Amino acid sequence: MQLIVLVPLGAYVAYVLVALLLLLVGCAVGAGRMAWERFRPRLSDELRAWIESGLARAQARLSRLFQPVDATPDDK
């Protein structure tokens, strides 16, 4: 009888932990973006260009990683 109660409770706890982790990641991304907007004018041009090129490369890699998958294969 205890197993019937513990399995849904464990799933609920896991769901809450994942939701809290996503919230924490969202807060970290927002704080990083705010810090970038605040300190970007103070950076040298070379450092700013280096950071922005690194961000562009990371964004390109992520967009290639998360490309949508076609449900039907091409018959070409």
Domain positions in the chain: 10-64
The mean pLDDT value for 15-43 works out to 90
Mean pLDDT confidence for 40-67: 87
Q: What is the pLDDT of residue 70?
A: 65
Q: CA-to-CA distance for 12 and 6, rounded, in angstroms?
A: 10
Residue of 30, 46, 27 whose CA lies nearest to 38 = 30
pLDDT at 22: 94
User: Which pLDDT score is estimated for 65?
Assistant: 81
Between 66 and 29, the higher pLDDT residue: 29
The arithmetic mean of pLDDT across residues 33-49, rounded, is 87
Note the pLDDT of residue 76: 53
